[in-house]
């Protein structure tokens, strides 16, 4: 075992982690970034369409409108103070990315170009607004590359391919983490004053997902096992337009450029569900509409998918119908959506400039996660009590600006805004904080779990358990939910956990680059996340945002303007051997600081 | 259909497997639209968990799963089985020119060291716009380096380059692509420093225009063209007037 000491350790090297690292280093802290992937492999790189900021480069816009869209998109579960910070600081954050070198597309007069995106409107929902700042359809790629470039420029210490498997708690504070070095299998203990988790989401809980194989919920699972609560886990977003069967994302930017959804009868069905902004309604609304069309037998050829059509003929027909003067041609689509065209041509043999793309909703984004305040400090209860030394930002965190459903582009905004705030908060904190000593044998418990998996001699391969879990979650805890389906999923998860603990078998018994072992360990995280998601979803007896129950169809503001906290019964510093022991706490009220003073922010029926 | 893979294996920890060797795996119920990555996963998950490879996003953006498939550098997630003649074995081996650590996993550190050599970050110490807003850049100037911003650092180009195989000190095509992205960005002010690095003996002149890199690129970057433009910039000592008709987004992948 090797022990390292840094002022701050950032776990995960996507957009949030790199932004936090950059700001902590600029603030004078000695920082290590520890990531199971090379930083440029992180999933931020796959974000396509844009990053929202009310720059107003092409038409009038305001951060207040952006905050409103965020709160409305979140079906009023968003903490309004966080939505306000998100929208206001987005402007500065995007300008800063440009200063760092990010190659945004440009307007004719040389400013950052902006496009429309789902749920982003002007003047409190009146009409769609051009707010998404973009670099072709690889905006996330450019953000990730630019931030990594800046980290190299600022000599950030990277521990690439170090897989963090535990968080260390002593005397009520987080004092570091434990990692496995992939190349050697050696255990490393990172002792720090501050630890920030930026490990991303957990789409791999479901069978159809846009997420990388690496998105297994490690950060939230690790911290939960040690007694840090998770929040709003039932709110998981299914993006409406994944490539049929593969789940690969087709950006909402396609619809921002004029693309439309078409059912098996050739109808633009979103006209019925969202008469005002149609195909640019929120993602949860569109995913449900697609499911309803399919259920009514109006999928393509009666099957479980619909078309996304961005052929110039179709787009121009609807632009003309809407009285817009703009027209598009094939070259325009090629230049605005090169990666999307490449995906469809490669994986489907479909050329989107000539024919429509078959799509279905795909598991995409977790609104829930490690609860934090707006400075990315982890909070452990309804009183917003901070646990010293622990921070979280990006998808793994729940700040909660996204509430019950995240708007497109806001994930990128979230990671730069709250990654930056986290980095600044850490730089301040480590200046005056002392190192809390490590406990005795800080890696012993997780090492014994890893050794159990490595030496397992049961009959069940991890892949078998993973596949069954993914199917159960897709069936029971997907776009639509009801009690019996969720209970069946939960029973399945318990049974799979039993097999994971007592009948597992892996082939690779070695130390070096043992991905068999680490994939199995990741499966343990996924199972915990699936359980926490399902018990949270069972608890919330209403429909709101991405959580849509057929047995409780209405939103219930009288009873449910609260976050769902799942706490560990053994509290902070729980032993890994205790396993998952959840207790639900429904006392954390949603922050309503905007609607308290501005009637326009008050909850109302959510129509688009 | 049934597909047989022939995979180059190496495990430094196990006697008898600590020298490179070939191993075959046969999979049943393969669809022609299955990707090589999915099938390697099936081998790992159903037959032999020790098979070791890198992967993450599985749709050609993260750059983790570069490997040599039937003798050509590809991303395993972007290759469909239907590309290959039915009944023939599909051969998979690690990319060349970097030390193999285990099976299909190579040591990427030398590759990233070359990347860092070219100062892969914007350098501009001039005062920022006084109005607190973005620096301006015309769409035409932006277009000049668009192609090289697509690079995902997968190493397909560098490890297909015979000049790199012959001399690992050569910075390689990927590092030059990264340098191109800044050399032709009108916002960057370190043109001279970058051109100095690239005119060193192991810089851009090691390129013999063999052209392996361009078809190897899973992002369709015109790599050889970018290297040529950097050579011209060194010869002329400036960036202006070199990229006259930048490659258009083609979007047409190899597979």
How many beta-carbon contacts under 8 Å exist across A and B?
A: 174
DSSP-derived secondary structure letter, A544: B
pLDDT for residue B253 is more than 50: no
Q: How, if at all, do strands A132-133 and A114-115 pair? A: antiparallel
Instruction: Taking residues B211-229, report their average pLDDT.
Output: 97
Picking from B16, B42, B46, B61 by the largest number of A CB atoms within 10 A of its own CB, the best residue to mutate is B61
The helix (H) or strand (E) run that includes residue A8 is strand A2-11
| A462 in contact with chain B, both atoms CB, cutoff 8 A | yes
The whole-angstrom separation of Cα B17 and Cα B13 is 8
pLDDT of B254 above 80: no
Q: Report the percent of chain A where pLDDT is more than 70.
A: 100
Alpha-carbon distances, residue B77 vs A141, A320, A360, B35, B61 (angstroms):
17, 39, 20, 6, 10
> B25 at the A interface (CB within 8 A)?
no
The residues of A carrying an active-site annotation are 283
- Cβ atoms of A217 and A520 closer than 8 Å: no
**How high is the pLDDT of residue B218?**
97
pLDDT at position A578: 86
Contacts 24+ apart (CB under 8 A), B16-21: B20/B100
Is the CB of B99 inside 8 Å of chain A's CB atoms?
Answer: no
What SS3 class is residue A495?
A: helix
Q: How far apart are CA B120 and CA B113, in angstroms?
A: 11
Tell me the residues of chain B between 189 and 218 that have a Cβ less than 8 Å away from chain A.
none
- Tens-place pLDDT, residues A199-219: 999 999 999 999 999 999 999
Question: Closest chain A residue to B138 measured between Cα atoms?
Answer: A110
H/E stretch holding B69 reads strand B66-69
> What does the angle CA A223 – CA A199 – CA A102 come to, to the nearest 5 degrees?
150
Residues 6+ away with beta carbon under 8 Å from B125: B189
CA atoms of B71 and B90, how far apart (whole Å) = 10
Strand (E) positions, A419-535? 480-481
pLDDT of residue A188: 98
Examine the fold and report which residue of B106, B140, B155 is the final residue of a domain before the chain moves on.
Answer: B106
DSSP string of A21-67, one letter each residue: HHHHHHTT--EEEEESS-GGGSGGGG--S-EE----SSS---HHHHH
B244 vs B85, more confident: B85
Contact A110 B48 (CB under 8 A): no
ipTM for the assembly: 0.96
Residue B126 maps to which CATH number?
1.10.1060.10
Is B174 part of a structural domain of the chain?
yes
Q: Going along A235-333, which residue ranges are E strands?
A: 236-243, 260-262, 306-309
- Radius of gyration, CA atoms only, chain B: 20
Give the residues across from A8 on adjacent strands. Answer: A31, A194
Q: Are residues B101 and B135 in the same domain?
A: no
Residue keyed to tokens 């915990």: A528
Residue B84 lies in a domain: yes
Distance CA A217, CA A202 (A): 4
Task: Say if the Cβ atoms of B14 and A510 lie within 8 Å.
Answer: yes
- If 0-12 CB within 10 Å is exposed, 13-18 middle and 19+ buried, where does residue B124 land? middle
| d(C-alpha B154, C-alpha B152), whole Å | 6
Strand extents, DSSP E, A198-299: 230-231, 236-243, 260-262
Q: Same domain for B76 and B51?
A: yes
- Which residues 135-174 of B are in CB contact (within 8 Å) with A? 135-139, 142, 145-146, 149-150, 152-153
Q: Are residues B169 and B88 in the same domain?
A: no
Q: Say if residues A23 and A46 touch (Cβ distance below 8 Å).
A: no
Is residue B254, in this structure, part of any structural domain at all?
no
The values of phi and psi at residue A235, to 5°, are: -95, 95
Scan for tokens 């901070």, then name that residue. Answer: A386
pLDDT at A39: 98
| Cα separation, A84 vs A66, whole angstroms | 8
Q: In angstroms, what separates the C-alpha of A58 from chain B's closest C-alpha? A: 14
The pair of structure tokens assigned to A413 is 């905004």
Among A residues 510-529, those touching chain B with beta carbons less than 8 Å apart: 510-516
| Pairing state between β A187-197 and A2-11 | parallel
User: Does A149 contact B35 at a Cβ distance shorter than 8 Å?
Assistant: no
Query: Is residue A209 within 8 Å of A537, Cβ to Cβ?
Result: no
Looking at B106, B136, B154, the residue that finishes a domain is B106
Top residue of B134, B152, B183 to mutate, by most chain A CBs within 10 Å, is B134
Alpha carbon distance A411, A397 (integer Å): 11
Alpha-carbon distance of A384 to A386, in angstroms, equals 6
Chain B residue closest to A101 (CA)?
A: B122
Query: Does the beta-carbon distance from A40 to B102 stay under 8 Å?
Result: no
CATH code, domain carrying B68: 3.10.20.30
A46 touches chain B (CB under 8 A): yes
Q: Determine the pLDDT at residue B246.
A: 86
pLDDT band of residue A605 (cuts 50, 70, 90) is very high
Residue B246 lies in a domain: no
Q: What is the mean pLDDT of residues A305-323?
A: 96
Interchain contact, A512 vs B101, CB within 8 Å: yes
Number of domains within chain B? 2
Inside any domain, residue B253? no
> Which of B49, B82, B106 represents a domain boundary (last residue)?
B106
Contact, A286 vs A271, CB < 8 A? Answer: no
Asked if B139 and B100 sit in the same domain, the reply is no
* A99 in contact with chain B, both atoms CB, cutoff 8 A: yes
User: Are the C-beta atoms of residues B230 and B173 closer than 8 Å to each other?
Assistant: no
Interface of A with B in 184-223 (CB under 8 A): 212-214
Judgement on whether residues B60 and B113 belong to the same structural domain of the protein: no
Q: B32-57, pLDDT tens digit by residue?
A: 999 999 999 999 999 999 999 999 99
Closest CA to A143 of A414, A427, A423, A425: A414
Whether B251 is in a domain gets the answer no
Query: In this structure, are B83 and B122 located in the same domain?
Result: no
Residue B244: inside a domain, yes or no?
no
pLDDT per residue over B128-172, tens digit each? 999 999 999 999 999 999 999 999 999 999 999 999 999 999 999
Q: What value does the mean pLDDT take over residues A318-331?
A: 94
* C-alpha–C-alpha distance, residues A493 and A491, integer Å: 5
Q: Which of A202, A218, A206 is nearest to A36 (CA)?
A: A218
Say if residue B57 is in the same domain as residue B22. yes
What's the pLDDT at B245?
A: 86
Q: How distant is the Cα of A191 from the closest Cα of chain B, in angstroms?
A: 25
The answer to whether A342 contacts chain B (CB < 8 Å) is yes
CB B56 within 8 A of CB B30: no
pLDDT bucket at A129, cuts 50 / 70 / 90:
very high
Backbone angles phi, psi at A171, to 5 degrees: 50, 40
Pairing verdict, β B100-102 and A162-170: unpaired
Contact A513 B63 (CB under 8 A): no
Whether B242 maps to a domain, the answer reads no
In 3D space, the residue among A61, A67, A97, A60 whose CA is nearest the CA of residue A410 turns out to be A67
Nearest-Cα distance to chain B for A40, in Å, is: 7
CB within 8 Å: B122 and A149: yes
The distance of B161 to chain A (nearest Cα, Å) reads 22
The pTM of the full predicted model, rounded to 2 decimals, is: 0.96
| CB < 8 Å to A310, chain B | none
**Is B48 in the same domain as B151?**
no
How far B197 CA lies from chain A's nearest CA (Å)? 16
User: B104-109 — which CB contacts under 8 Å span 24+ positions?
Assistant: B104/B7, B104/B8, B104/B52, B104/B53, B104/B54, B104/B67, B105/A513, B105/B52, B105/B53, B105/B54, B106/B159, B108/A38, B108/B155
CB proximity B49 to A under 8 Å:
yes
Q: Express each pLDDT in A520-554 by its tens digit.
A: 999 999 999 999 999 999 999 999 999 999 999 99
Is the pLDDT at B250 greater than 50, yes or no? Answer: no
What pLDDT, on the 0 to 100 scale, is given for residue A199? Answer: 98
**pLDDT over threshold 60, residue B255:** no
CB of B34 within 8 Å of a chain A CB? The answer is: no
Same domain, B134 and B93: no
Query: Residue A336's pLDDT is what?
Result: 87
Which residue of chain B is at minimal alpha-carbon distance from A343? B59
Helix H or strand E encompassing A132: strand A132-133
Count CA atoms closer than 13 A to A68's CA, side-chain side: 21
Cβ distance of A41 and B185 shorter than 8 Å = no
CA atoms of A539 and A57, how far apart (whole Å): 44
Are the Cβ atoms of B134 and A111 closer than 8 angstroms?
yes
β-pair partners for A35: A160
Task: Kindly state the helix (H) or strand (E) to which residue A140 belongs, with its residue range.
Answer: helix A139-153
**Together in a domain, B142 and B58:** no
List, as ranges, residues 103-132 from B with C-beta within 8 Å of A. Answer: 105, 108, 112, 116, 120-122, 124, 128, 132
Neighbours of B29 (CB within 10 A): 9
Q: Does A459 touch chain B (CB under 8 A)?
A: no
Beta-carbon separation of A95 and B137 below 8 A: no
Is residue A601 within 8 A of residue A594, CB to CB? The reply is yes
The number of angstroms, rounded, from the C-alpha of A282 to the middle of its chain's C-alpha atoms is: 16
Mean pLDDT of chain A: 97
**What are the strands, taking DSSP E only, across A343-442?**
357-366, 370-371, 377-379, 386-392, 397-398
Shared domain check, B14 and B65: yes
Q: Which residue of A has its CA nearest to B104?
A: A513
Q: Is B169 in the same domain as B220?
A: yes
Which range marks the domain in which residue B134 is found?
109-236
Q: Residues A601, A80: contact at Cβ < 8 Å? A: yes
- Does A11 score more than 90 pLDDT? yes
Q: What percent of chain A is modeled with pLDDT above 90?
A: 97
Q: Which of A161, A214, A463, A515 to mutate to test the interface with B (most CBs of B within 10 A)?
A: A515
Q: Report yes or no: A101 at the B interface, CB cutoff 8 Å.
A: yes
Lowest mean per-residue pLDDT among A256-260, A373-377, A430-434: A256-260
């Amino acid at each position: 075992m090797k022990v390292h000491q840094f002022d701050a350790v950032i776990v995960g090297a996507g957009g949030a982690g790199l932004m936090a690292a950059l700001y902590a280093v600029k603030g004078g802290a000695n920082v290590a970034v520890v990531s199971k992937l090379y930083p440029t492999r992180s999933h931020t790189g796959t974000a396509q369409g844009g990053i929202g900021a009310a720059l107003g480069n092409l038409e009038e816009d305001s951060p207040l409108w952006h905050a409103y869209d965020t709160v409305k998109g979140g079906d009023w579960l968003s903490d309004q103070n966080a939505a306000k910070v998100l929208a206001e600081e987005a402007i500065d954050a995007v300008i800063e990315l440009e200063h760092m070198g990010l190659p945004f597309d440009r307007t004719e007069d040389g400013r950052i170009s902006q496009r429309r995106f789902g749920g982003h409107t002007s003047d409190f929902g009146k009409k769609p607004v051009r707010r998404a700042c973009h670099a072709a359809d690889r905006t996330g790629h450019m953000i990730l590359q630019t931030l990594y470039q800046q980290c190299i420029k600022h000599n950030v210490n990277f521990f690439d391919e170090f897989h963090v498997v535990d968080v260390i708690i002593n005397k009520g504070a987080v004092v570091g983490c434990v990692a496995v070095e992939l190349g050697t299998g050696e255990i490393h203990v990172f002792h720090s004053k501050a630890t920030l988790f930026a490990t991303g989401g957990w789409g791999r809980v479901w069978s159809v997902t846009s997420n990388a194989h690496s998105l297994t919920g490690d950060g939230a699972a690790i911290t939960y096992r040690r007694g840090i609560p998770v929040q709003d886990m039932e709110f998981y977003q299914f993006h409406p337009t994944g490539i049929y069967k593969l789940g690969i994302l087709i950006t909402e930017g396609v619809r921002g450029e004029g693309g439309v959804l078409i059912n098996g009868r050739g109808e633009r069905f979103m006209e019925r569900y969202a008469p005002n902004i149609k195909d640019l309604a929120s993602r949860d609304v569109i995913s449900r509409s697609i499911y309803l069309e399919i259920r009514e037998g109006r999928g393509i050829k009666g099957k479980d998918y619909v078309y996304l059509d961005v052929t110039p003929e179709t787009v121009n027909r609807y632009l003309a119908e809407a009285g817009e003067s703009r027209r598009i041609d094939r070259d325009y689509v090629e230049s605005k959506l090169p990666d999307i065209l490449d995906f469809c041509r490669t994986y489907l043999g479909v050329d989107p400039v000539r024919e429509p793309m078959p799509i279905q909703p795909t598991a995409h984004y977790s609104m829930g996660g490690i609860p934090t305040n707006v400075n990315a400090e982890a909070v452990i209860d309804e009183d917003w009590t901070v646990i010293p030394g622990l921070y979280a930002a990006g998808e793994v965190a729940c700040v909660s600006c996204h509430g019950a459903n995240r708007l497109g582009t806001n994930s990128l905004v979230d990671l730069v805004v709250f990654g930056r705030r986290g980095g600044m908060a850490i730089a301040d904190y480590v200046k005056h904080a002392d190192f809390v000593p490590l406990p005795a044998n800080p890696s012993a418990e997780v090492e014994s779990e890893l050794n159990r998996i490595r030496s397992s001699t049961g009959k069940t391969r991890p892949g078998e358990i993973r596949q069954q879990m993914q199917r159960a979650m897709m069936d029971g805890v997907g776009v639509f939910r009801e009690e019996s389906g969720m209970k069946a999923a939960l029973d399945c998860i318990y049974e799979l956990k039993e097999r994971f603990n007592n009948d597992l078998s892996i082939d690779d018994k070695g130390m070096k680059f043992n991905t068999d072992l680490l994939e199995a360990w990741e499966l343990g995280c996924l199972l915990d996340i699936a359980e926490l998601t399902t018990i949270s979803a069972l608890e919330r007896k209403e429909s709101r945002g991405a959580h849509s129950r057929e047995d409780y169809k209405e939103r219930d503001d009288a009873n449910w303007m609260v976050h769902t906290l799942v706490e560990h019964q053994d509290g902070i510093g729980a032993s890994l051997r205790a396993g998952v022991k959840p207790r639900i706490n429904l006392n954390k009220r949603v922050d309503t600081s905007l609607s308290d003073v501005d009637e326009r922010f008050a909850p109302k029926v959510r129509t688009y | 259909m049934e597909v047989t893979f022939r995979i180059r294996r190496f495990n430094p920890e196990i006697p008898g497997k600590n020298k490179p060797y070939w191993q075959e795996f046969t999979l049943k119920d393969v669809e022609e639209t299955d990707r090589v990555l999915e099938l390697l996963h099936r081998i790992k998950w159903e037959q032999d968990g020790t098979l070791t490879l890198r992967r993450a996003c599985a749709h050609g953006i993260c750059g983790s799963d570069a490997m040599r498939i039937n003798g050509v550098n590809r991303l395993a997630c972007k290759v469909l089985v239907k590309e290959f003649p039915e009944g023939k074995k599909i051969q998979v081996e690690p990319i060349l020119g970097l030390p193999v650590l285990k099976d299909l996993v190579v040591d990427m550190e030398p590759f990233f060291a070359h990347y860092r050599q070219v100062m892969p970050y914007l350098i501009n110490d001039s005062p920022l716009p006084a109005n607190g807003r973005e620096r301006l850049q015309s769409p035409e100037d932006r277009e000049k380096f668009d192609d090289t911003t697509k690079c995902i650092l997968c190493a397909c180009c560098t490890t297909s380059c015979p000049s790199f195989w012959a001399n690992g000190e050569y910075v390689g095509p990927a590092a030059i692509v990264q340098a191109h992205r800044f050399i032709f960005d009108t916002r960057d002010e370190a043109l001279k420093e970058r051109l100095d690095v690239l005119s060193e003996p192991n810089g851009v002149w090691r390129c013999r225009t063999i052209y392996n890199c361009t078809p190897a690129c899973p992002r369709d970057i015109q790599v050889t063209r970018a290297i040529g433009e950097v050579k011209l910039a060194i010869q002329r000592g400036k960036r202006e007037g070199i990229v006259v008709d930048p490659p258009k987004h083609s979007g047409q992948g190899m597979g």
